[in-house]
A and B are shown apart, each in its own frame.
Chain A
Amino acid sequence: MLAMKEVYLDNAAATFVDPRVKAVMDRFWLKDYGNPGSFHSMGLRALRAMNSARSAVANVLNCSSDEVVFTGCGTESVNLAIKGVFAANKSKGRHIITTRVEHPAVLEACRYLEKYESAKVTYLPVNKFGQVSASNLENAIRPDTILISVMYANNEIGTINHISELSKVAKKHNILFHTDACQAGLLDIDVKKLGVDLFSMNGSKVYAPKGVGLLFIRKSVSIVPLIHGGGQEFGLRSGTENVAFIVGFSKALQLMQSERKKESARVSRLRDKLVNGILNLIPKVILNGHPKERLAGNVNVSFLDIEGEALLLYLNEKGICASSGSACTSKRLAPSHVITALGLPYEVAHGSIRFTLGRRTTSADVDRVLKVLPGAVEALRRLSPVHIKEEDLYG
């Protein structure tokens, strides 16, 4: 049997490594594998490659090179931002403000600080699209607030926050502002325009390999490292630098940003085609997240009366890779905290499916999903004893 071509619509989970990225990494395996901290030509070549990668990233982010710290992943960047800023500033106060819809990297780092460092954390509610309001943020500020962390774009539902408005509130009250921008590769990532003090990103969402991340840290920010050792990365992240991945990540970010406008337009057209197709072909579907202010590649829908994991298995059988906010696909066996934070009941979260489009997604891929999906949903609904009324969902 011929292998079915897989339609990969889980780009928010991981992207392929762009061949142009892989190409610039190749020389670091067998040729220029020296330690950038070493006193010889081989080390110097690695150091130079890393320095130029760092300055290219700084150029993309509109900051200076010594404000870019490379890490092992997005989760590490977020942990360094939150725990590192907390440790360095806790004498001023122990209050952190974040939101209910953050990635677990942020939420669990905050819960850790609550449990072991007597931090006080406010988890802001969001509107029905998943956005935080500037006035809610301002009202949550206390005299002991030292850090605000609000994600740029949500990983599950793709909703984009107005970061520059929110960071103004932080600045007005002289509080540090961090944004988790791991999903924001196709957005404007100029940190000056965004007005943020700390900014996390990772490689595996922008066509670089898994296992590399970065944290922009504005020069004036007081922060201490989580990983101690040889003092690499300006003393903020010890450990021999992963030169190949750093060089690849830098190339990936440059490519993503230079192709941003065109690619964003192309992907959002496909996204809209998929959303409209689903809404037209299938009854009892809810689009989760903001209808317009959402990531170009994100489609998140809840199919009422059925459970997401079952639908994923149907899709997988037809060669379509997607993800779900269903409890059955989560490690915690609880439904998506993001979709429930939108005010929707658990049963709607259980039936949510996320399709995330990417650089290799084509119109034919969208057609394939639209061909398979209605039948799969109908088959599962025929088996279901649950009949949710749409009008009951928004009380």
Chain B
Amino acid sequence: MAEPWFYTETVKDHFFNPRNIFKTEEEIKGYKADGVGEVGSPACGDVMKLWIKVKDDRIVDCKWQTFGCASAIASTSMLSVIVTEHNGMLLDKALDIKPQDIVSRLGELPLRKFHCSVLGHRALRAAINDYFKKTKQEKRMVKDEPMQATCGVKQ
């Protein structure tokens, strides 16, 4: 039988030692983001919020918050690493990040966690769209398919 909540060492590492997080309330308030995105709903059990700083069309800094299970937290943490490593990812490339890209960096996730807990890429697209809007580059904004309700919550 499949193990419903087996987490790899990488997932546990990102869960217990999350990367790129705000240390204090003051840090959140003082953070000058170029774009902010938030997706999910507390009723569904997953909310992800992402803050990005952009320079020369690259993501040079990324902070995040997640309400959700361990895999949701670990996957957002991993995403923040992916977009900021190697001097920052180009925005066009960042828009193309898929859940599978995050999961493969984490090693493995329980299958049932895949659809509901990996929402970080959507929060990222929302943050990039926010940046495009603020910098009058509306043409570059992308549209996301509406999310499928996987959590069984009727809203």
Q: Is B150 an interface residue (CB 8 A)?
A: yes
A350 touches B42 (CB 8 A): yes
B151 touches A305 (CB 8 A): no
Inter-chain contact count A-B, CB under 8 Å? 90
A333 touches B66 (CB 8 A): no
Distance between Cα atoms of A326 and B15 in the complex (Å): 18
Instruction: Identify the closest chain A residue to B18 (Cβ).
Output: A383
Interface centre among B7, B21, B67, B152 (most CB of A within 10 A): B67
From A305, A331, A345, contact of B67 by CB (8 A): A305
Task: Say which size band chain B's interface belongs to.
Answer: 20 to 34
Instruction: Give every chain B residue within 8 A of A380 (Cβ-Cβ).
Output: 73
From A313, A326, A329, A385, contact of B48 by CB (8 A): A385
Q: Shortest CB–CB separation between residue B118 and chain A, in angstroms?
A: 13
Distance between Cα atoms of A307 and B117 in the complex (Å): 12
Distance between Cα atoms of A331 and B4 in the complex (Å): 9
Distance between Cα atoms of A347 and B47 in the complex (Å): 11
Q: Is A366 an interface residue (CB 8 A)?
A: no
Contact flags A356-384 to B (C-beta < 8 A → 1, else 0):
00000000000000000000000010111
Distance between Cα atoms of A326 and B153 in the complex (Å): 12
Instruction: Give every chain A residue within 8 A of B147 (Cβ-Cβ).
Output: none
Q: Is B142 an interface residue (CB 8 A)?
A: no
A383 touches B5 (CB 8 A): no
B15 touches A327 (CB 8 A): no
A384 touches B112 (CB 8 A): no
Q: Is A346 an interface residue (CB 8 A)?
A: yes
Instruction: Identify the closest chain A residue to B16 (Cβ).
Output: A317
A309 touches B42 (CB 8 A): no
Interface centre among B5, B18, B70 (most CB of A within 10 A): B70
Q: Shortest CB–CB separation between residue A82 and chain B, in angstroms?
A: 24
From A310, A334, A382, A386, contact of B42 by CB (8 A): A386
Distance between Cα atoms of A329 and B116 in the complex (Å): 13
Q: Is A14 an interface residue (CB 8 A)?
A: no
In the complex with contacts A313-B15, A332-B152, A346-B45 CB distance below 8 A = yes
A334 touches B49 (CB 8 A): no
Instruction: Give every chain A residue within 8 A of B69 (Cβ-Cβ).
Output: 307, 309-310, 313, 326, 328
Q: Is A281 an interface residue (CB 8 A)?
A: no
Q: Is A226 an interface residue (CB 8 A)?
A: no
Q: Shortest CB–CB separation between residue B11 and chain A, in angstroms?
A: 10
From A305, A309, A345, contact of B43 by CB (8 A): A345
Distance between Cα atoms of A385 and B4 in the complex (Å): 26
Q: Is A306 an interface residue (CB 8 A)?
A: yes
Q: Is B44 an interface residue (CB 8 A)?
A: yes
A333 touches B150 (CB 8 A): yes
Contact flags A321-341 to B (C-beta < 8 A → 1, else 0):
000001111011111000000
Q: Is A388 an interface residue (CB 8 A)?
A: yes
B113 touches A328 (CB 8 A): yes
Instruction: Give every chain A residue within 8 A of B4 (Cβ-Cβ).
Output: 331
Instruction: Give every chain B residue within 8 A of A335 (Cβ-Cβ).
Output: 45, 153
B43 touches A385 (CB 8 A): no
A383 touches B152 (CB 8 A): no
Contact flags B1-36 to A (C-beta < 8 A → 1, else 0):
000110100001001101001100000000000000
B67 touches A384 (CB 8 A): yes
From B43, B48, B116, contact of A347 by CB (8 A): B43
In the complex with contacts A328-B113, A345-B43, A333-B152 CB distance below 8 A = yes
In the complex with contacts A310-B15, A346-B42, A385-B65 CB distance below 8 A = yes
From A314, A328, A388, contact of B45 by CB (8 A): A328
In the complex with contacts A310-B15, A328-B113, A346-B153, A386-B67 CB distance below 8 A = yes
Instruction: Give every chain B residue within 8 A of A317 (Cβ-Cβ).
Output: 12, 16
Instruction: Give every chain B residue within 8 A of A346 (Cβ-Cβ).
Output: 42-45, 153
Instruction: Identify the closest chain B residue to A304 (Cβ).
Output: B42
Distance between Cα atoms of A350 and B66 in the complex (Å): 14
Q: Is B68 an interface residue (CB 8 A)?
A: yes
Interface positions, chain A 50-107, Cβ under 8 Å from B, are: none
In the complex with contacts A383-B65, A385-B47, A310-B152 CB distance below 8 A = no
Instruction: Give every chain B residue within 8 A of A384 (Cβ-Cβ).
Output: 47, 65-67
- In the complex, the 6 A-B pairs of residues with the closest C-beta atoms, listed nearest first: A334-B152, A347-B42, A309-B69, A346-B43, A385-B65, A385-B49
- B contact set with A: CB distance below 8 Å: 4-5, 7, 12, 15-16, 18, 21-22, 38, 42-49, 65-70, 72-73, 112-113, 116-117, 150-153
Given A314-B16, A385-B66, 4 extra CB contacts under 8 A: A310-B73, A327-B152, A333-B116, A347-B43
Residue contacts A-B, CB under 8 angstroms, 10 given: A307-B45, A317-B12, A327-B153, A328-B68, A329-B5, A331-B4, A332-B152, A333-B150, A334-B152, A383-B18
